[in-house]
Chain A
Amino acid sequence: MLVPAAFSLRDPQFIQACYIVAAVCFILGLRGLSHPSTARRGNMIAAVGMAIAVIATLLDRDVVGVPLILLGIAIGTAIGVPAARSVRMTAMPQMVALFNGVGGGAAALIAWTEFRDSIDAGGGFALDTEIAVLFSTVVGAVSFWGSIVAFAKLQELISGQPIMIRGQQVVNGVILAAVLGGCVYLAAAGDEQSVFVAILALASVLGVAMVLPIGGADMPVVISMLNAFTGLAAAAAGFALDNTALIVAGTLVGASGTILTRLMSQAMNRSLGNVLFAGFGSAPEGGGAAAVASGDGSFRSTTADDVAIQLAYARRVVVVPGYGMAVAQAQHAVRDLAAELEKRGVDVNYAIHPVAGRMPGHMNVLLAEADVPYDSLKEMDEINPEFPQTDVSLVIGANDVTNPAAKNSPDSPIYGMPILEVDKSSSVIVLKRSMNPGFAGIDNELYSDAKTAMLFGDAKDSIQKVLGEVQAL
């Protein structure tokens, strides 16, 4: 091979070339995710790209403080590896929130370090670097603290219900204005550490204040949005550090988060602004809670053996899983029941609503864990025309995504949201812990429908009982 005489691994050009290779790996890795059969290899390609980028950076002749770097890597590995190995699939949303948060936090800390360095050097930033540093600081801090709150909600360390203070939007607006004001001041009047720290603190408060009012059912939107934020913060850090690897990788993540946010909002027929500012699910004085109180409440309760008979003699059954299935860890029991039914010649499919669960694709991961083949998972548009030919829809811990009020009641807070049309099937069985309304706090008129029967109790428990009864038939 022809190697130029002056070639050195520490040559900045060589390092840049490594970054290009890394960027290609990230893009190929993401492209692998376009199909389940190539996804795992894609992830590995992306990981190789990351290794190349990190090693190339370590070759950089400006890099000093290797013991400190190794210390940080050791700490991160000691935390990250056991967490990733031991997390349960049902806890994946909070894990993703946490990982997302630390990425944002790192971006903000890098920006802070840059800022301190520029003060030490005595000279201010060029305007473009200043903007990049401040953007990375603010968005990174919002993402970090927002993700921490999302984590706490999903882990049920704090209530999953929306937490609102009076005039929340005004307060958030004032904080945002103060943050922006501080940024303009720094850009105009020169760098002052105290102003920077104030901006960082206010952005942190903003991150907390933004996510606290958001209810559990809206989590898929928020997690996607925070994902986009972290990506953009990383890209901004790349602008600040003049590093192409960060710009490309951060931008890819920003694009991904943006697409997911849009898909999730569309699946709820709401704008991002509405999710962020409407305090959906809180509306206690609105129609939601009133309807719960005044709902005619006439529902039909059923037993495991009745359900077993209905399922065993059906031709077509559609399972509609929701967050309740995740909470009850019922996915394996569901798979066993479906296998038993299929043995009896029943056609079993799964209907997956895009916002079922607490993050995009949540149900798919759980069912994949339970070895349900992914081609029996049907998306909303695919399965909706099939409900009229379905004998039994088995709704497991899903609520709002099946509520016919989204089509029928213009007054309903979820009016216009695309739903799984289980009410069109011949009969519906709803597995539910109790008659409490779902996260959105909205009465589900499906439950009082004449063809709906309710089976109360822990979802896993109920499914196992039904399975026992089916086997005994």
Chain B
Amino acid sequence: MSLLTELTIFVLAVFVGFEVISKVPNTLHTPLMSGTNAIHGIVLVGAILAIAIATGDTLGRVLAVIAVAFGTINVVGGFLVTDRMLEMFKRKPDAKE
């Protein structure tokens, strides 16, 4: 893919990101942080691709496996912890009783 195409995607993502995230209320800023932690778990995709190019030697493999493990921690940990938090935010009609 050409650099210009990638830059186009990048610039558009910047604007979409600012647009969407500026609408997140203060109350949800912690879930936003842990949710975005989960989303940058997309490095897992990069790590999976890295394993393919790291078959040369042991060190390379170890580095890539650690990267996969890190990415997985991000993905599973991030989404789980965010879900736990957001579950607490759901409206509880009988909370005042």
Contact = CB atoms under 8 A, between A and B. Distances in A.
A382 B63 CA distance: 50
A63 B55 CA distance: 11
A69 B55 CA distance: 12
Given A243-B49, A256-B36, A260-B29, A54 B44 contact: yes
A373 B73 contact: no
Contacts of B18: 255, 258-259
Interface in A365-398: 365, 368-369, 371-374, 377, 379
Interface string A97-117: 001101101110110111011
A69 B51 contact: yes
Label chain A's interface by main secondary structure. Answer: helix
Nearest to B56: A120
B67 A106 contact: yes
B7 to A, nearest CB: 9
Contacts of B87: 40
Given A64-B51, A110-B46, A128-B3, A361 B81 contact: no
A276 interface: no
Contacts of B68: 68-69, 71-73, 75-76, 106
Ranked nearest first, the 7 interchain pairs of A and B with the lowest CB-CB distance are: A76-B72, A72-B68, A255-B17, A361-B29, A80-B77, A360-B29, A251-B13
A92 B85 contact: yes
Interface string B59-93: 11101111111111111111111111111111110
Interface in A256-285: 256-260
B40 A251 contact: no
B36 A257 contact: yes
23 contacts: A30-B21, A40-B86, A42-B35, A43-B31, A43-B82, A57-B48, A64-B52, A69-B68, A84-B78, A92-B34, A99-B81, A100-B33, A100-B40, A106-B74, A234-B42, A241-B49, A241-B50, A250-B42, A252-B17, A255-B13, A255-B21, A360-B29, A360-B30
Interface residues of A, number: 111
A87 interface: yes
A243 B46 contact: yes
A138 interface: no
**In the complex, which of the residues A73, A75, A369 has the most CB atoms of chain B within 10 Å of its own CB atom?**
A73
A58 interface: yes
B31 to A, nearest CB: 6
A72 B13 contact: no
Contacts of B37: 96, 99-100, 103, 227, 230, 253
Contacts of A359: 29-30, 33
Interface of A: 23, 26-27, 29-31, 33-37, 39-40, 42-44, 46-47, 50, 53-54, 57-58, 60, 62-65, 68-69, 71-73, 75-77, 79-81, 83-85, 87, 89, 92, 95-96, 99-100, 102-103, 105-107, 109-110, 112-114, 116-117, 120, 128, 223-224, 227, 230-231, 234-235, 237-239, 241-260, 339, 342, 352, 354, 359-362, 364-365, 368-369, 371-374, 377, 379
Interface string B12-31: 01101110111111111111
A43 B26 contact: no
A362 B53 CA distance: 41
Given A27-B16, A34-B23, A116-B54, A68 B83 contact: no
Contact of A113 (B60, B75, B81, B83): B60
**In the complex, which of the residues A34, A113, A230 has the most CB atoms of chain B within 10 Å of its own CB atom?**
A113
B83 A44 contact: yes
B26 A354 contact: yes
A36 B35 CA distance: 13
Contacts of A83: 73, 77
B89 A368 contact: yes
**In the complex, which of the residues A76, A105, A230, A253 has the most CB atoms of chain B within 10 Å of its own CB atom?**
A76
Contact of A365 (B3, B45, B88): B88
B58 to A, nearest CB: 11
Contacts of B75: 50, 54, 76, 80
